[in-house]
A and B are shown apart, each in its own frame.
Chain A
Amino acid sequence: MTSVEKQRVYRRLNSTQSVKNSQAMYYFQSKNPYLHDEGKKIAWITSGGPVEFLVAMDILPLYPEQYGAIAGSAKDSTRLSQVAESHGYSQDICAYARTSFGSILSPDSPTPLSEIDGIGGLATPDMLICGNNICGTVLKWYQDLARIYKIPLFIFDTPPLIDDNIPSYYIEYLTTQMNEYISFLEQQMNKKMDMGVLTEVFQNSKNSIELWTKILDLGQAIPAPLNCADRFLLMAPVVSQRGTTETVSLYEEVYQEVQTRVDDEEGAITVPERFRLLWDNIPIWFNLYDFYNTLAQKGVVFPVDTYTNAWSQNFQESGDLLKDAAVMYSNIYLNKTLQHKIDLISTLAKKYKCDGILYHSMRSCKRYSLGQPITRVEVTEKTNIPGTLIEGDMNDSRAYSEGQVMTRIDALLELIETQRN
């Protein structure tokens, strides 16, 4: 590739640096050697787990999936996956899980979490919180973590939602678990949950999510103010720190900057926007900037994706906090049917004026990926927007062939071009 081809054609957001700094501080705090003396503990939690309860109890939540993304972006995830494989984990299981096991089992130091993290890897957990609202894989993964660390594990069980009518006994089951969750945490921390604090934390979460949703909404503008890589980076706080006032301020800053871009008609890419594509699934972390930059050079921008959109869900306020939380935590993208995915992708593709859809078929994540061939056909039938599947993985570079992927994308772009003429 020549230096001209490698040229950067995306605009950096200033507020990205604030997000990075905030994440660095967050991870820095997790390595505080006096954390336990200060009455705090560390929990590892799945990305769909009810985090607000931890924040309210002075428990620092850490996300092995987010660690996977960090290691992926640092191009260290394949190595860590191989470490896990050398300990008997199959190459066919989720690469986030393999990256996580690899980081625990690695003889060399695991990927640092930020520029100021000297030790690398997530701080050792005191407890584990697992919500199966994203997939069944996390159940096996966390059960194994519990065996490795010999620490308590709380499972927040959310059977998949088969349709939009959530039966009352379903909500009751989940609400009871919210109460069980509180008791579990009280036992771990040896103190009572302050429901006032919990309500405040939920309010912060709600505000963060609302701001995040507003930021995503700005993507409807032409030219698109944010590309995939921007959103994937900016989403970190809404995943891991959404219950804090800091995240609210952070997202206010991001929102202002993105709004200014929209007002100034300044796009996320520096070349004219020719193709607006929707991205489905987790990104290719180990190739994040190169991938989107290479496409941006062809005028391809991604104003919307299903992954960062999954955190735009908000909760209704019925006056019963635990019940509302129960509904919110079950009513999420990956806990719903294929039909729901088809409907959502169709809506988003239209709303964000997309010309095409890229479905990242990831062997790592069966829950997200299996069924995409049908989704592709049905979404196109519904919207007349063409799409293509590309094969790859978010963290395992061995499952990714750039040549093949680019050939497929070129074919999609050609099709879009032909349809235009």
Chain B
Amino acid sequence: MSFNIRSNILSSSLEYYLTHYYEALTELQQLSNPMVGYFTNKIPVELLDAMKLHPVRIFAFKHPQAQQGAYERYIQTFACSWLRGILDNGLVNGYKDLEGIIFSTGTCDSLQNVSDVWQKVFAAQLTYNLTFPIKSNKAAGTYLENEFKQIVSFAQKHLKGSSDFKLTESIRKYNLKRKILQKVANLVSKGQLLYVTFAQLLYFSDLLPVDKFTQIFKDFPPTNNDDSISVTNQDEIPRLLVSGGMWDNWELFDIPEWNGLVADDLSFGHRNFNYTLAETDSMKSYVESQLKRTSEPTAYDEKNQRLESLGEQIKEHDVNGVVLLTMKFCDPDAFELVPIRKYLESHDISYLNLETSPDISNVGQLRTRLAAFSELLL
């Protein structure tokens, strides 16, 4: 299969899958390995794949039959809007196509409590709580290695995980996937692909089995790519970078006001593909390699890398302005906002804070503010 990056075939195919996410899950359940759902970018997807499980990311995409606010029977309105959406969707069919769900601690209080609530509401579903250290030193490594071993034995026992365990191969596949995404991110930076299409591709890559994804996209982008062509006239619009947390609704980016978006600093964007893991069969080395990743600032930015890495990205992509995207009632987003603002102000970089929820109910207001921001940058 080949895609023409300047046509909208890629975008419309991806859009089709993403808007039919729940049907896609049902279909995948027939076709792929047993599926295991997850919420955060810390999940050791390589381990799951090595056990011939198919890790799929749980999104807040609205289920067509979801009743908004159904969650209120179980959890209060000040839980983060992302998880509230996910609970509403789950209440329709309990993610019945998944063999089980893996929660990860050490992200935020909302997720921690929702994992408890989930086990009550969906008592029939197999869930596992992977407790992550928030440090990355030797002691944390030993701890995490044990936690990973525990999840392997749980998955093999309860989630149909295979004992024929080939970690190196799985790491290689995911490294390839990340490399592909890095290449596509480059196209976005050069203005040859709209960010919205890239976001769709990112989300799609977390839904499709990794072998399939790498097989389809291994030659993407085409090498005969003509550098002189761009999807927008880059001289007329400011170059933007979006920074935030676990945002997952590509539709937000599907408006012309985002045409200048050239890079992201999001949990499931850049922070989920900006690394390569050591290809190894040893659990110890795998853990070490995981802990060397840029720390995910959601819970705690142990290595104080968030600001530095944001600064590097701004330079690398020649960004004119930063959009700080915060999810309603997301504590980590809210806390991060303050130091990021200070940092941007001290470096004379313009920014705009947009707060919304996965249903982007305030899209009109967002558009106006984005348009005004872009005008200011010109």
Contacts and interface: CB of A to CB of B under 8 A. Distances in A.
B66 interface: no
A162 B102 CA distance: 13
Given A338-B117, A371-B116, A372-B76, A170 B143 contact: yes
Contact of B139 (A176, A338, A366, A367): A176
Given A155-B302, A339-B120, 11 more contacts: A136-B331, A140-B300, A144-B335, A147-B339, A157-B140, A159-B131, A160-B112, A167-B146, A361-B76, A370-B113, A373-B76
Contacts of B134: 132, 139, 155, 157
Interface string A262-293: 00000000000000000000000000000000
Contact of A136 (B75, B112, B336): B112
Contact of B76 (A88, A369, A378): A369
A139 B140 CA distance: 17
Most chain B Cβ neighbours within 10 Å, of A155, A162, A180, A370: A370
B146 A180 contact: no
A159 B116 CA distance: 15
The 8 closest A-B pairs by CB, nearest first: A338-B116, A140-B335, A159-B131, A90-B334, A370-B113, A173-B143, A176-B139, A169-B146
B146 A371 contact: no
B79 A370 contact: yes
B109 interface: yes
B329 interface: yes
Contact of B140 (A87, A140, A173): A173
Given A89-B334, A90-B337, A374 B109 contact: no
A170 B145 CA distance: 11
Contacts of A16: none
Given A93-B334, A143-B301, A371 B339 contact: no
Interface in A136-156: 136-137, 139-141, 143-144, 147, 155
A373 B338 contact: no
A177 interface: yes
Contacts of A242: none
Interface of B is mostly: helix
B74 A93 contact: no
14 contacts: A90-B337, A136-B300, A137-B109, A139-B299, A139-B300, A157-B133, A159-B132, A167-B150, A169-B147, A180-B137, A337-B116, A370-B75, A370-B117, A374-B117
Contact size class for B?
35 or more
Nearest to A169: B146
B219 interface: no
A363 B77 CA distance: 9
B114 interface: yes
Contacts of B336: 140
Contacts of B300: 132, 136, 139-140, 143, 155
Most chain A Cβ neighbours within 10 Å, of B140, B301, B335, B341: B335
B184 to A, nearest CB: 32
A136 B334 contact: no
A88 B113 contact: no
Given A92-B329, A93-B331, A366-B79, A136 B338 contact: no
Contact of A144 (B146, B299, B338): B338
Nearest to A140: B335
A172 interface: yes
Given A90-B334, A371-B75, A172 B341 contact: no
Contact of A92 (B72, B120, B331): B331
Given A180-B139, A371-B117, A374-B117, A366 B331 contact: yes
A136 B336 CA distance: 13
A142 to B, nearest CB: 9
Interface in A116-150: 132, 135-137, 139-141, 143-144, 147
Contact of A370 (B114, B139, B326): B114
Interface string B127-158: 00101111101011011001100100000000
A159 B139 contact: no
B331 A137 contact: yes
Contacts of B328: 92
Contacts of A143: 300-301
A313 B245 CA distance: 36
B87 to A, nearest CB: 11
Contacts of A87: 338
Nearest to B306: A143
Nearest to A378: B120
Contacts of B78: 92, 363, 366, 369-370
A386 B134 CA distance: 39
B120 A366 contact: no
Nearest to A369: B76
B106 interface: yes
Contacts of A371: 74-75, 113, 116-117
A338 B109 contact: no
A162 B129 CA distance: 7
Contact of B337 (A88, A337, A363): A88
A337 B117 CA distance: 9
A367 B109 CA distance: 5
Contacts of A88: 337-338, 341
A208 to B, nearest CB: 29
A96 to B, nearest CB: 13
Interface in A369-385: 369-374, 378
B142 A173 contact: yes
Contact of A169 (B121, B142, B341): B142
Contacts of B55: none
A155 B109 contact: no
Contacts of B341: 88
Nearest to B143: A173
Nearest to A179: B139
B245 to A, nearest CB: 12
A135 to B, nearest CB: 5
Nearest to A141: B335
A159 B115 CA distance: 14
Interface in A330-379: 337-339, 361, 363, 366-367, 369-374, 378
B110 interface: yes
Contacts of A162: 129, 131
Nearest to B337: A88
Contacts of A339: 116, 120
B142 A172 contact: yes
A132 B332 CA distance: 14
A135 B106 CA distance: 10
B142 A157 contact: no
Contacts of B108: 136, 366
B34 to A, nearest CB: 23
B107 interface: yes
B113 A140 contact: no
Given A144-B339, A372-B76, A92 B334 contact: yes
Given A159-B131, A371-B74, A371-B117, A177 B139 contact: yes
Contacts of B139: 172-173, 176-177, 180
A363 B331 CA distance: 11
Nearest to B75: A370
B105 interface: yes
B79 to A, nearest CB: 5
